[in-house]
Amino acid sequence: MNMVRLQLIYPEDLVKEPILCSVCKSFNVIVNIRTAKVTQDSGILTVEIDGDAEEIERAIKFIQEKGVDVQPIEGQIFME
């Protein structure tokens, strides 16, 4: 199993969208929200995504395609 820690930056028009819920339902990954600051104008979340490397990559691509800015947190990619 792999784990990656990411910062997700939501633009104003996506703040109310259940994107992480869709990720959990559509991909074989576990999403753990570590920190979150959400306002009406934006959202910044730090999340950990656990799963097989291929599923994590697919989930990240899905999040990006929805319009969320995905930034890896340096030094936070773990392989078990």
**Residue 79: predicted pLDDT:** 45
The chain-wide mean pLDDT, for the chain, equals 92
Residue 80 in this model has a pLDDT that exceeds 90: no
Whether the CA torsion 35, 38, 44, 49 is positive or negative: it is positive
> Which band of pLDDT confidence, cut at 50, 70 and 90, is reported for residue 78?
very low
Nearest to 45 by CA among 3, 74, 5: 5
> Residues 42-70: pLDDT tens digits?
999 999 999 999 999 999 999 999 999 99
CA distance 23 to 8: 13
**Residue 1: predicted pLDDT:** 81
Q: What residue ranges define each of the domains in the chain, with the CATH number in brackets?
A: 2-79 (3.30.70.260)
**Residue 75: predicted pLDDT:** 65
